[in-house]
Structure formats: C-alpha cells, structure tokens
Chains A and B, each alone.
Chain A
Amino acid sequence: MIQVRQILPNLPAFALAFALGLSACAAPPPARPAEQQPAPPAEPIKIGALYGVTGGMSSIDAPGLNGMKLAAKQINAAGGLLGRQIELIAIDGKTDQTATTNAASEMINVHKVVAIGGLNDSTFALAAGPIAQKAGIPFVTAGATLPTLPEQIGDYFFMAPFGDDAQAYAIADYAIDDMGAKTAYMLVDQAYDFTTALAKFFKERFTSRGGSIVLEDIYRSGDTDFSAQIAKVKALNPQPDVLFISAVPSEAGITTKQFREAGLTAPIISGDGFDTPLIAEVAGEDADDVFYSTHAGLDNPDPKVQAFVKAYTEEYGRPPENAFAALGYDTLNLIADAIKRAGSAEPKAIRDALAATKGFNAITGQITYMEGQRKPDKTVSIIKVQDGKYSFVKEIKP
C-alpha cells in the first residue's frame, strides 16, 4: 500500500510528461485554415507573414498582419496570382528573438513558403533575415527601417519602407523649414537600434542645417518615470524650440503625457515610433502639438490611400490603426507584383523580379529599387496630433 501512495502523487506529472512526449512525436504538420476561399484547382502559393503579434511590438505588428491579410484576400477575390490562390502562413514571433527565428524557420522548412514578409523592428529582422537568406527565400521587411539592413543580411532581403535616415531627415527639415526651429532637445531610448539610429540621423541633419542641440538625454525602454529628464529640460534657459523624442511605441504615449503635464509646451517631434494610437490613448487631452514622420498619412486625400482605408474599415470594423497596416498591405502587394512579373512562384525568380521593381504604386509611396539597392527611395509623410486627433500635414521628399 505504501508504494502505491508514494507513486500516486507523481502520477499526474508522469501522465503530463508522457502525453507531451507523445504529442511531440505524433504532431502532424498542422492543417492551415485556407483564407476562406473555395478550394482552388491549383496548389496555393504560400507566403509567410512573420509578425510579433503578441508582446511589445503588437501595437504596430498586429495592424501590419491585418494589412497583409487584407491584401491577400483582395488578390484571391480577384482570381489569385498566376491562376493560383495565395495562402498566408501567419506565425506569431512573440516579440522574442528565439520565437521569431523559430517561426521563420518553420515557415521555410515546414510550410515551404516562397517568400516572407513582415517584421517592423530591425532587431528581429537581423535575426530572422539570415535564415531566409541562407535558404534562398526572399524576405521583405514591412517596417524595419535600419538603412543598412539589406547590406548586412544579403541579396534576398528587401525593405518596403524608407530607411531611418530618410524619416529623420524629413522631421528635421520640417522642424527647420515649417516650424522655424533653431534649437532642439533630444531624448533618446538607448535600448533599440532604431531609436539610437534615428537620433543620430536627426542630429546630423538638424546641425548641418544650422540648428543646434541644446541638451541630449537618454532613457531605457521600460522606464516609466521621466521626471529626472524633465527637470533638466525645465532648467534650460531659453527653452528649446522643439523636443525631439526618439522612442518606440510603448513609450510614445507616456513621454508625451509626462512632458505636457510638467508644463513643457514646445512641439514634440519624432519618427514612426510615435505612429501609434497610444499617444492619444495614454496622453489624452495632453496629446497636443505632436509631430512625427511616418510612412503614410491615412487621411491623405490621395484616392489609393482612401480606397485602402475604406477596404480596411470594411474588413475589420475599424480604420487602420497606423501606417504599419498600410506597410503590411504594401508588402504583400509588392511580393505579389514580383510574382506576377516573374510569371513564376520560384523563390529565385521572385527575388530577381523584386530587385527589378520600378515605380510600384504603394499606399506608402512609390517603390523603386535603384540598381543594386534593396532599400527604396520614398516620400515621407508628416502627421500632427492635436487634441488627441491625428491629421496628415504634408509629404516630404528628403
């Protein structure tokens, strides 16, 4: 009897371990739900959609995935590509480097995708990109803007967005030309590639055009109290003309709120890290006089932008959350365009067609890859936030 009693407490543990072991061995490649289409005669073309749908990147990655899905649905409704339907293989990268690389590898090796799109942050693109490069699968990043990504990763890596250099130059030009700013304060998140690069390019342009940086301060993503930094700004005399905050979406709202609550009224400027509903949600009424450069203004009167906004609203019951939805949409259309021009769904042919993209009309501006470059020259949109409302100001070609 004693023996049985000793074993009993362990039984659930064994059962669990055993069941897991079994399911690990027996799990078949899962059946993916087709994109609610009747079964097409030919094999679908599989394209990977790699985003960190949960975790820190979700506020910009989830809209991106929705944008990609919308594009796939529209293409399929119009008869597909080369007579075949598109099947999106969307796997959550969980805003984690290990999970993101596993997901990229799963798409390529298990699901046999012919191309991958997605990811809005360079840290993750640098980890996932080389896997696609090694396997010879074209990878189009939807929103990672580190300008050196294509050279660092290789000839199968393409950028749908402009580089950080372009967006930083654009907001610096706007501050000088349209706001008449001469002095700027800089607050830089030290935890990300993106934020440090953006700050570097902003400083380069702002000072080379005669502006001066009166104070440069730092914080780290995850900080919630900016009172020390704010005290240093308040001690400045005279006050700077603009406050440049190089942040990722998670800190966009909270910095705006704390700076405004402290009584600092100078315009706040930033890059596409500020392109998040969080500014209005967190800062509320304090979200005033915020300007940022990003990929697309969704109230841009351009008919193709408005058609996208309408389709997105019909599909998801809400307007696009930010420009990353448009970038996701553009990314899939860019890949589809390359497949169409290549007349083939072979990864090598898609890569060559992508590299030859000329004047592709995307929601976020025309995409052309110059000879040997895989980073497009695009226009940059400036957005203003006033009373918690986001409005398109103008497009700038830096």
Chain B
Amino acid sequence: MNLEKVISGFFIILAMTLNFGFFYGDIDDISQHSKYELFAAIVVNLIATTLKLGDRTQMGSVLLATSLVADIQLIAAATVWTIGAYAYALDSSTIVLVVSLSGGALLANFVSVVLYVGDTLKSKR
C-alpha cells in the first residue's frame, strides 16, 4: 500500500462525489443545491489539483488537465453565484447556469476518476 496513492485517490474521488452531491437535484431550484457543498467541492478540487502538480508522466499531465478544467468550472459557478446574489437578483436562469457549470466540472472529475482507476488497474502492483 502506498500512502501517497491513498491520499491522492481519496481527494480525486472525494472531489467527484462532492461535485455530484451539489449537482444532483432540479436544475432551477436553488433549495436543492447547497452552497456549502459547492464550497467544499471547490476546496477538495483545489487540493486534488495541487497533489497532481509536478507529475511528469503522460498520465499525470492528463489528470492535471482534467483537474484544472473542473477547478475552472467550479470557480466559475461560485463566481456566477456570488455576482448573481450580490450584484443582481438571483433568478432561475442564474441558478441554471451555476448548476450546469458544476455539471461540466462533474464530467471532468468523472474522466479524472476513470483515468485514475484505469491507471491503477493497469499497474502490476
């Protein structure tokens, strides 16, 4: 068992699950999407990204890329939400935008997990 693998695997999968938790629910109903879950998803995603930094293998580069995509999508969702809430009214179209952005991040996170699992299965140990 490799502690480093456990930690990075933990964060990669946690990033996906939190992301899914936020995404799940009616797309235009704000009461079904917790802002705290979005916050947690962003933090875990950032940690997962940092853990992937500096891995020079081909797999490491692709994982880093997917993670960066998820980060950008989630941070964009949070930014849209903040601007919507403070600068304008929080109407249903803003909520749809926030949730769909997090849906995109979920897809990136999913790819990341698939790659990670595939890589683990491929390795002999």
Q: Do A and B bind each other?
A: no
